[in-house]
Amino acid sequence: MARLPPSRDDLDDDLGPSSDPVVRMPKRMYVPPPEREETNPLGGPRAIAVIAAVGAVLGATLGAIGLGIVWTTLEPLTARPAVVAARPAVIAPPDAAPPPSFALELDASAPSEAPRPDGPAYDITQERLGGRTLAAALRALHLTPADGAAAVRALQTLVNMRTLQTTDRVAVLRDPVTRELRRVEYRREPAQVWAAVREPEGWHGERVAVTLATRHVAAGFRVTGSLAATLTAAHLEPDLGARLAEVFAAMGLPPRVLAGDVVRLIVDEERANGSFYRYGTVLGIDYRGAYGHRRGFWVGIGTVRGDFFDARGHTFERGPLHSPVPGARLSSLFNPRRMHPVLHVIKAHNGIDFAAPEGTPIYAAADGLIATVGEAGPSGNLVTVTHPTLRVTSGYAHMSRFAPGLRPGARVHAGQLLGYVGSTGRSTGAHLHFSTKRAGAFVDPLVLMGIRRTIAQEARLMFDAQTAQVGRALDRIAVDGVTLVEGGAPAAPVDAGAPPSLPPLEVGATGVESEHEEPEGDGDDPLDEGERAQ
């Protein structure tokens, strides 16, 4: 591939902000055929006898076919071993079409079908207000204008409508048989619930006495179709998508999932009067998919603060930029006065190195635009991406090969495949040299990826014991009938393998300390000069 001019390495300040299209799966609609009058061309007893004989033959044939289907279905189930191992991650070939991507929206407000509460049986749908008026939220829940206005008038006697918050919820309760509207509930906090009750004589408002309960829910799913449909099929509320967005951000993952990704998690589910209210703390999560494998554990640091740590007791890389090789070992730091391992002279190392086997996928660190793609002298096969909103350009050097379809000017999103780890150019072994440039000067990528924290020594025993318990619970969660350890529980919707008593881990403000993580290598790791050919 032809060498590109060095001027393309500079940040283009005139580029507009990038966009991140969200893939939305269309709902399948069933349109019944037009009704038509049935006619019978045959008539009389003889026709009836013929039809009866044909029906008997067809019934016997279909019965035999049904038995065959049942036998072929049961046979592989009976032959399945009692213990199954985790499925390894599968890397698609370079020319394969990318899987669908589904955004995790922090302000997601998809309607959710909540479990029926204790007492009268209702079908419940609810939404977050999300900045709308109460009347607008009720229209989105398919209330007629008259019913919506009446419910708002009844609630106005109890709730100051000027104090509505985006996180408040509104729930509509209907008769499960007749679908007749019974109640409208406005929910601010678990214990703050007001209701507009529909009676034959009219609507009236009342404060709802609330009984709160929290339970641990252990569940897992493989993303298929839309994220909302995947969560519903796993007997989870679509609201979990917003919680996953927060967790992914804390773990340094892009805010989206792709088809085929597998998530296992243990989360607190808050229930009010027996019905689902919201999801609370995610105690532990295991992600395996297009962005690699990450397992995180929530740790409370103070009265209102907390963070996710890996099993080694470190927080995840977090900042405007994500790791281009998730989970890879950092083998060399940014160093303006580094002794070059090949040239044996003092020469700046204008980036950081990730040690990884050749062929390991490399992903875009943030949303942006492809600036250059091609061979670049000492940097080997190089891709550079401008990130206009960050006013930063990122570089990915020494690739063995590029992902298909890359071209200058093309938009990419965080976590999109750019290429594969290699050792092209001036390099002593397979690795990724990752650089960042701002205002024409190289800057340390770690500054843009966030400073990590670690569990302090005095809290280490407590941390190890707690994360081991949560980790065992995650290992027992079955997805597609597959668990991560022997003797895992069979697939079940909720509460499968969740520890009966598992309080969130609290280490206090002195239980963590900040660190600037040093590379784990011994000085012999592959390094490079990180410079483009001039």
Taking only the tens place, the pLDDT of each residue in 336-395 is 665 555 555 666 788 999 999 999 999 999 999 999 999 999 999 999 999 998 999 999
Q: What is the pLDDT of residues 32-69, one digit of tens each?
A: 444 444 444 444 555 555 555 655 555 555 555 554 54
Give percent of the chain above pLDDT 70. Answer: 65
Is residue 245 predicted with pLDDT exceeding 50? yes
Identify the band that residue 471 occupies on the pLDDT scale cut at 50, 70 and 90: very high
Is residue 262 predicted with pLDDT exceeding 60? yes
Q: Which of 137-146, 321-330, 432-441, 474-483 has the lowest mean pLDDT?
A: 321-330
Q: Which of 9-13, 96-100, 442-446 has the lowest mean pLDDT?
A: 9-13
Identify the band that residue 115 occupies on the pLDDT scale cut at 50, 70 and 90: very low
| The pLDDT of residue 31 | 36
Q: Which of 296-310, 348-362, 412-426 has the lowest mean pLDDT?
A: 296-310
Stretch 213-231: mean pLDDT, rounded? 90
Better pLDDT: 507 or 349: 349
| The pLDDT of residue 520 | 39
CATH 3.10.450.350 is right for the domain spanning 212-318+450-503? yes
**What is the C-alpha separation between 172 and 349, in angstroms, rounded?**
60
CATH 1.10.510.10 is right for the domain spanning 105-207? no
Q: What is the pLDDT of residues 512-528, one digit of tens each?
A: 654 444 443 333 333 33
Stretch 95-107: mean pLDDT, rounded? 60
**What is the C-alpha separation between 427 and 366, in angstroms, rounded?**
26
Residues facing 188 on adjacent strands: none
State in words which class domain 329-449 has: mainly beta
| The pLDDT of residue 346 | 67
DSSP 186-223: EEEETTEEEEEEEETTEEEEEEPP--EEEEEEEEEEE-
Stretch 7-27: mean pLDDT, rounded? 33
Better pLDDT: 4 or 402: 402
| The pLDDT of residue 163 | 85
| The pLDDT of residue 54 | 54
Mean pLDDT score across all residues of the chain: 74
Any idea where the domains of the chain sit in the sequence? 105-207, 212-318+450-503, 329-449
| The pLDDT of residue 393 | 96
Give the tokens for residue 469. 């318990």
Stretch 68-84: mean pLDDT, rounded? 39
Better pLDDT: 382 or 312: 382
Full-model pTM: 0.52
**What is the C-alpha separation between 382 and 424, in angstroms, rounded?**
9
**What is the C-alpha separation between 449 and 324, in angstroms, rounded?**
10
Give the tokens for residue 336. 């303006």
Better pLDDT: 190 or 219: 219
**What is the C-alpha separation between 239 and 275, in angstroms, rounded?**
14
Identify the band that residue 166 occupies on the pLDDT scale cut at 50, 70 and 90: confident
- Can you give the three-state secondary structure of 33-87, one letter per residue? CCCCCCCCCCCHHHHHHHHHHHHHHHHHHHHHHHHHHHHHHHHHHHHCCCCCCCC
Is residue 496 predicted with pLDDT exceeding 60? no
Better pLDDT: 349 or 295: 295
Give percent of the chain above pLDDT 90. Answer: 31
Instruction: Say whether 329-449 and 212-318+450-503 share the same fold.
Output: no
